[in-house]
Amino acid sequence: MLRSLRFAARAVIVLGVLLAAGAEPAPASETAWKALFESGVKARKEAKYADAERLLRTAVTRAEAFGPQDDRLVRSLNELGTVLRLAKKLDEALTAHDRALKIAEAKHGPESPEAATSIYGLAAVATLQDRAEDAEPLFKRAL
């Protein structure tokens, strides 16, 4: 575990140096996406929401290179939505979860576990926006 965290940290540092130097990131790199995604999740768990948002927005960009219906894009968008919700950026969180839901439904269907994660995120945002009438059916649908 510690070894994988060190690897992820090194990958993020290397990516940061390349981006700061103006280098274009390599397209569709699984390793780079995974390092960004895992670092973003770690930052969220540590309540470092600004860091998590920055890492996950970059992970979304990386995931987009895998294709418009790639599951890594859905995961990245949902995780970004969670971070934005925790940071009280509710409109942006809603947008991220909604985009993830559209992709998940198109690829896996409206009753899929992938769609359920996005639906739950939308319900959580609706709850924080005091829209119980919208949140309740979403929570039921997520089950």
Quick one: CA dihedral 5, 9, 10, 12, positive or negative?
positive
User: How far is residue 82's CA from residue 43's CA, in Å, rounded to a whole number?
Assistant: 12
- Mean pLDDT (whole number) for 93-116: 95
- Closest by CA position to 93, among listed 102, 101, 106, 84: 84
**Digit-coded pLDDT (tens) for 69-100:** 999 999 999 999 999 999 999 999 999 999 99
Give the HSE-up count for residue 63: Cα atoms under 13 Å, Cβ half-sphere. Answer: 25
pTM: 0.79
Q: Which two tokens stand for residue 81?
A: 């939505």
Contact predicate 56/76, CB 8 Å:
yes
**Digit-coded pLDDT (tens) for 123-134:** 999 999 999 988
User: How far is residue 131's CA from residue 125's CA, in Å, rounded to a whole number?
Assistant: 9
Using 50, 70 and 90 to split pLDDT, how confident is the model at 141?
A: confident
**Digit-coded pLDDT (tens) for 42-68:** 999 999 999 999 999 999 999 999 999
**Digit-coded pLDDT (tens) for 9-38:** 555 554 554 454 444 444 568 999 999 999
Contact predicate 91/123, CB 8 Å:
no
Give the model's pLDDT for residue 143: 87
- Closest by CA position to 126, among listed 118, 46, 99: 118
Q: Which residues, other chains included, contact 91 with Cβ-Cβ below 8 Å and sequence gap of 6+?
A: none
